[in-house]
Structure 1
């Protein structure tokens, strides 16, 4: 990425483009040319982890694309007077990629989440996109250092690999094993399989439009409270830095 295509927020370089631009100007050419790419969908929690964990920072900075997934990232960019064009929710990007794969015959691998959630997510994906090619699937309970397991996934030759292991495991797994793949678009997607499977309800569009999806998730899952505190810490640090 060129410097003028990115916005730097606390040592993380975010790609500054809309979701539509990312799909058509970056993803499509990468797939057509059999390029291997790593996408990080970064929210304030990931940025804070980068700040606190140098190893994780190196992994994120090696990603080909870091996408602004989180209202806090967009607000921070405005505070820093380097406004990002728009938030690109990881879940929405995954759905668009699945639709694109179904239309043009690209194959997908579903890695992560609980076994039943993984199975439900794949069934729902095939229901929504009947022509979708599923290269394989596996739950998220495995040793991320298992070289043979990663090689078996590579042998399936998926064009897109969705990794739902949560941070930092999903980025660690991609970084460790991506070179085993001749091509493929890797994306860490956190809890997106849970949403696709219907286990977790996404916020209504009105909440999303008001950048309150985080609050809706907190009301649904109060155990996320400590994670939300990281968002507030992130915003305070951005303001202080400004």
Structure 2
């Protein structure tokens, strides 16, 4: 997965989901520490305004295109990416690996009751997974006790659901403490894992209009959706220049 595609200063991995999973499985088995970012247009736009956050993204081992806007942007720049790799799908594939290999998984983030529901669902669906530990997302970002607790649990995978940019900052600030493990920011994926938030039906996902389904179900998200046209406009300006 060496080829990169630059979209507004963020370098995405030119890869498929299957290739990604095969690479990550190999890294897990070799105890290689790995920082994964799944970035959508909103994240890319934020990185453009926040140099420190951009640096964090650039330090990640892999950046995946989560969001049809990224695919559209890469196409406009005449440097297409093979496919969209949604963060939730990637997390589920990693849970399948964890289940098969009986790996230790730590979940960090979300509200406590949502997190507990998600853990119950994971235990039921993936009985081979060892739950290394979990903690809700309501803590001070620089609290050393949280990082110490995660480290003590000796995890093979850490899913951080604090929302961007906080989740990537937390991973970046504490990455040096660990000797192994997959570290990935998963946004609202724990809400979906718990059943609190429903995912778009498969047809909507195949048509790449999952964003529209979420907007219909959660109209309060409309402000977030304004990032897509702004992002495309910025890509077109970059192309022109």
Place the TM-score, normalised by the shorter chain, in its bin: over 0.9
Which position in structure 1 is the counterpart of 2:14? Answer: 16
Deviations 1:32-59 (A, max 9, x none): 1111110000000000011011111011
- Tell me, what secondary structure is at the counterpart of 1:87? coil
- Tell me, what secondary structure is at the counterpart of 1:150? helix
Which position in structure 1 is the counterpart of 2:141? Answer: 144
Large movers: runs of 4+ above 2 Å = none
Which position in structure 2 is the counterpart of 1:39? Answer: 36
- Tell me, what secondary structure is at the counterpart of 2:237? helix
Which position in structure 2 is the counterpart of 1:101? Answer: 98
Q: Which runs of 5+ in 2 are unaligned?
A: none
- Residue 148 of structure 1 and its aligned partner are, at CA, apart by 2.3
1:166 aligns to 2:163 (yes or no):
yes
| d(CA) in 1 for partners of 2:36, 2:173 | 14
Alignment TM-score, normalising by the size of structure 2:
0.97
Between Structure 1 and Structure 2, how many residues are aligned? Answer: 239
Residue number among 225, 235, 239 corresponding to 1:238 in the alignment: 235
1:181 aligns to 2:178 (yes or no):
yes
| d(CA) in 1 for partners of 2:90, 2:145 | 29
Write the mapping of 1:10-159 to structure 2, written as runs, cut at 5 A: 10-24=8-22, 26-159=23-156
| d(CA) in 2 for partners of 1:235, 1:197 | 33
| d(CA) in 2 for partners of 1:27, 1:67 | 13
- Residue 144 of structure 1 and its aligned partner are, at CA, apart by 1.3
- Residue 134 of structure 1 and its aligned partner are, at CA, apart by 0.6
1:201 aligns to 2:198 (yes or no):
yes
- Tell me, what secondary structure is at the counterpart of 2:200? coil
- Contact kept in structure 1, 2:99 and 2:129, CA below 8 Å: yes
| d(CA) in 2 for partners of 1:60, 1:237 | 19
Which position in structure 2 is the counterpart of 1:7? Answer: 5
Q: Which runs of 5+ in 1 are unaligned?
A: none
- Contact kept in structure 1, 2:25 and 2:97, CA below 8 Å: no
| d(CA) in 1 for partners of 2:96, 2:124 | 11
| d(CA) in 2 for partners of 1:53, 1:219 | 30
1:226 aligns to 2:223 (yes or no):
yes
Deviations 1:76-116 (A, max 9, x none): 11111111010001001101101110101111001000001
| d(CA) in 2 for partners of 1:120, 1:154 | 23
Instruction: Report the aligned-residue RMSD.
Output: 0.9
